[in-house]
Amino acid sequence: MNRPGKTAGMRHLALNVANLDACRHFYVDLLGMEVEWNPDPDNFYLSSGNDNLALHKSNEAFAPKQQQHLDHLGFILQTPEEVQHWYNFLNDQKIKMHSQLCHHRDGAVSFYCEDPDGNKVQIMYHPPISAK
């Protein structure tokens, strides 16, 4: 059997989070995602228009760090200037930063910050996919 064609890309991520309300605030109120669906008090499905992020309240028997082994999740921006603007904005909002603004040798520009549940988030301009 031949391999099917390419996928449309990885556009869905589900995170188990301990502080659902604080994480919803971070992704919706600060990063500008919209609530696509809130089926019950323990789940939010968010979107930027071309992706889907599910936030699931963590099972109390397991801390989120034990449930997932995610290094980071990333948000793509259209220009390097937008990355700078987001860096300034999130700093003003007192969001914990994991890096300074970095200009990479391949033309990418990015920084890492942290959501309220301790997940590392990368905000980046990446030339091969930012303009699409």
Dihedral over Cα of 93, 99, 103, 105: its sign:
negative
Look up the pTM and report it.
0.84
With residue 1 as reference, give the H or E element that holds it: none
The boundaries of every CATH 3.10.180.10 domain in the chain are 7-60, 72-132
pLDDT digit string (tens) for the chain, length 132 residues: 887 678 777 889 999 898 999 999 999 999 999 999 999 999 999 999 989 999 999 876 555 555 566 889 999 999 999 999 999 999 999 999 999 999 998 899 999 999 999 999 999 999 888 876
Look at strands 109-114 and 120-125 and give their pairing: antiparallel
Please report the DSSP string for 13-27 in residue order. EEEEES-HHHHHIII
Return the pLDDT at 34. 97
Report in angstroms the alpha-carbon separations of 28 from 3, 34, 42, 91. Answer: 37, 6, 16, 17
- Yes or no: say if 56 and 17 are a contact pair by the CB < 8 Å rule: yes
The CATH fold of domain 7-60: 2,3-Dihydroxybiphenyl 1,2-Dioxygenase; domain 1 (3.10.180)
DSSP state of 116: T
Find how far residue 98's CA is from the centre of its chain.
14
Return the pLDDT at 67. 58
Close Cβ partners of 54 (under 8 Å, ≥ 6 residues apart):
12, 13, 14, 15, 43, 44, 45, 46
- CATH class, domain 72-132, is alpha beta
